[in-house]
């Protein structure tokens, strides 16, 4: 259902337009992938001309990057709460498993974040100005540092370097796995027609969990080795 706005004349009215555009884009992403979300349809649903939407956001991608920042901040709050519940007295292997499970569970609970993450490099970071790119990357680095801090508390054996490597790889892997876990209608039909192809089908949650487990338990021995050599 589209809305119709009068011309924005105050800062608060302009802020309300921005909120309406973002809320509408959020609703659209619950129905369709990033690739299908168009600026024309977004404008129609908001009740503004496309040119008016561009008065508030310079491009479709600028809208999506702002949503990415908002979703990432909310995900970090979820992850921090999940990691805060991990018993620090557990053996390192148990805490590492809890870390992997926390990342997977909190990501799975936010499909829009997964969708945006999967399109970040190929779509979201294109067709934006340097100013928008700077704001987005500054927000990203702040979130990255926050994750390093919280993971270093949950599994201090990783060290800051190990936590940073885990985060960087985990986000990239999550984006790739999400893409492969959302096959086209033709591929889904092929799986239905030929059950022997089922081994090729990717399910996001178990695939990400097994991958992160392998990543973590590869980084932990490296972190221990580095600590030993420094000693």
CA dist 110 and 114 (Å) reads: 7
Question: Which domain CATH number covers 42?
Answer: 1.10.10.60
Choose the final residue of a domain: 23, 39, 57.
Answer: 57
**What is the extent of the structural domain holding 38?**
1-57
For residue 24, what pLDDT is reported? 97
> CA dihedral in degrees (145, 146, 147, 148; nearest 10)?
50
Q: Are residues 103 and 187 in the same domain?
A: yes
Whether the full predicted model's pTM is greater than 0.85, yes or no, is yes
Q: Residue 109 in 3-state DSSP?
A: coil
**Predicted confidence (pLDDT) per residue in 6-31, tens digit:** 555 678 989 999 999 999 999 999 99
Give the pLDDT confidence of 40-91 residue by residue, as tens digits.
999 999 999 999 999 999 999 999 999 999 999 999 999 999 999 999 999 9
The confidence score (pLDDT) of residue 225 equals 60
DSSP character at residue 205: H
Residues 6+ apart with CB under 8 A from 16: 8
Q: Per-residue pLDDT tens for 145-170?
A: 999 999 999 999 999 999 999 999 99
- Cβ(96)–Cβ(216) under 8 Å? yes
Domains in the chain, number: 2
**DSSP H stretches of helix in 88-197:** 92-108, 111-118, 130-154, 159-180, 185-193
Q: What average pLDDT does the structure give for the chain?
A: 92
Which among 98, 99, 102 is positioned nearest to 110, based on CA atoms? 102
Tell me, yes or no, whether 177 and 213 share the same domain: yes
What does the pLDDT read at residue 9? 66
Do residue 125 and residue 43 come from a single domain? Answer: no
Distances (CA, A) of 194 to 127, 179, 182: 41, 21, 18
């Amino acid at each position: 259902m589209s809305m119709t706005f009068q011309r924005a004349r105050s800062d608060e009215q302009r802020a309300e337009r921005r909120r309406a555009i973002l809320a509408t884009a959020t609703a659209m992403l619950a129905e369709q992938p990033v690739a299908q979300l168009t600026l024309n349809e977004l404008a129609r649903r908001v009740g503004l001309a496309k040119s008016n939407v561009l008065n508030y956001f310079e491009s479709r991608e600028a809208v999506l990057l702002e949503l990415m920042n908002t979703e990432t901040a909310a995900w970090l709050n979820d992850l921090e709460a999940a990691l805060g519940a991990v018993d620090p007295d557990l053996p390192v292997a148990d805490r590492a498993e809890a870390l992997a499970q926390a990342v997977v569970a909190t990501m799975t609970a936010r499909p829009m974040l997964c969708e945006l993450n999967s399109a970040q490099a190929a779509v979201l970071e294109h067709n934006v100005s340097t100013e928008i790119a700077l704001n987005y990357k500054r927000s990203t680095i702040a979130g990255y540092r926050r994750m390093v801090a919280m993971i270093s508390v949950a599994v201090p054996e990783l060290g800051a370097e190990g936590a940073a490597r885990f985060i960087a790889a985990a986000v990239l892997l999550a984006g790739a796995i999400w893409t492969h876990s959302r096959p086209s209608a033709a591929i889904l039909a092929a799986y239905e027609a030929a059950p022997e192809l089922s081994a090729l089908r990717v399910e996001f949650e178990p695939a990400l969990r097994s991958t992160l487990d392998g990543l973590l338990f590869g980084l932990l021995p490296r972190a221990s080795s580095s600590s030993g050599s420094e000693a």
